Amino acid sequence: MKIIECVPNFSEGRDARKIARITGEIEKVKGVTLLNVESDADYNRTVVTFAGKPEAVKDAAFYAIEMAAEVIDMSHHKGAHPRIGATDVCPFVPVSNVTMYECVQIARTLGKEVGEWLGIPVYLYGEAAMISVRRLLPDIRKGEYESLPERLKDEKWWPDYGPAEFNENVKRTGATVIGAREFLVAYNVNLDTQDIQIANKISGIVRTSGIVKINEKGEKVRVPGLLKLVQAMGVHLKEHNITQVSMNLLNYKVTPPHVAFEDVKKQAGKLGVRVTGSEVVGLIPKEALLAAGRFYSKEPSEEKLIAAAMEGLGLSQLNKFIPEKKVIEYMLELR
């Protein structure tokens, strides 16, 4: 069977009724399984994971985006996480017997439907990008929702599909970024401090793009970060009185969670800050946990390796980590 995964991020993390209406649109589509729904009030964001047959997954994504446009008003949205629209980003990921090319075609087809039928500006990113400067999500999302009125006046940032104007509909929905990519692990490391400057400093040190400094000649120079294929930023979680180094591990085989965790912990220690644990947002491939388990333990069994990974990474600090509900192979019963 062909299986693809879809991981849309919606700009609502506080109103359970609105979130239920969005996920309800996914659940009603035959051939699709809703795997995970994870909301964060501080981020004011919900990450949804579902998988199934390619055409069914595309349809479910469309209905969810349509409902999000109905229940979320971006003109009143506030949250700690960067966002550009009611459905902020909607990536497709190949899981089983599906090529990246097929995911690209699904992303582009959905983008056209969302742009033309729902009147939402759509940008294509990742492997589905049709313009090279739009491959990276942060580049598209720069300035966030608040920048859209001016951005849509710039021909270079006209959307791939949908209206190139900030009309009343777009004022409410914002824009949506749709694409195709390999499996991404959304991974956050918790710092025992409320000082966002410390979280930002560590993020700049570890992320691939690094930081911009002024050299002796007064010129701006970019200093690359420590980790490969990693995006990172500092986030303050008021509800928990901590900050996080919030990361996207773009390829967990290049930079697995335990490597990111240990590097953040090392940098935090240099600044006199303690790391209290970490969290996975959405699902994670089993191999990423097994690699962490092998790093922290010499246990032979899969079950014990995953337990060692959870202990080593402190995965039960904020959100209780239940492997049966967080490991994609277990959720899809591909053990």
DSSP state, residue 207: S
With contact defined as beta carbons under 8 Å apart, do 106 and 90 qualify? no
User: What pLDDT, on a 0 to 100 scale, did the predictor assign at position 332?
Assistant: 81
Which one of the listed residues 76, 77, 81, 258 is annotated catalytic? 81
What CATH architecture does domain 3-180 belong to? 2-Layer Sandwich (3.30)
With contact defined as beta carbons under 8 Å apart, do 236 and 196 qualify? yes
Overall pTM > 0.85 = no
Q: 156 burial class (0-12, 13-18, 19+ CB within 10 angstroms)?
A: exposed
Query: Would you call 236 a catalytic residue per the annotation?
Result: no
With contact defined as beta carbons under 8 Å apart, do 106 and 58 qualify? yes
Q: How many residues in the chain?
A: 335
Domain boundaries, the chain: 3-180, 185-331
Residues paired with 96 in a beta bridge: 3
**Opening angle at CA 152, ends 151 and 158, nearest 5:** 110
CATH 3.30.70.670 corresponds to the domain 185-331? yes
Q: What is the pLDDT along the chain (335 residues), one digit of tens a residue?
A: 899 999 999 999 999 999 999 999 999 999 999 999 999 999 999 999 999 999 999 999 999 999 999 999 999 999 989 999 999 999 999 988 999 999 999 999 999 999 999 999 999 999 999 999 999 999 999 999 999 999 999 999 999 999 999 999 999 999 999 999 998 999 999 999 999 999 999 999 999 999 988 888 888 899 999 999 999 999 999 888 899 999 999 999 999 999 999 999 999 999 999 999 999 998 899 999 999 999 999 999 999 999 999 999 999 656 679 999 999 888 887 65
Helix (H) or strand (E) holding 46: strand 45-52
Residue whose C-alpha is closest to residue 85's, from 8, 17, 154, 14 = 8
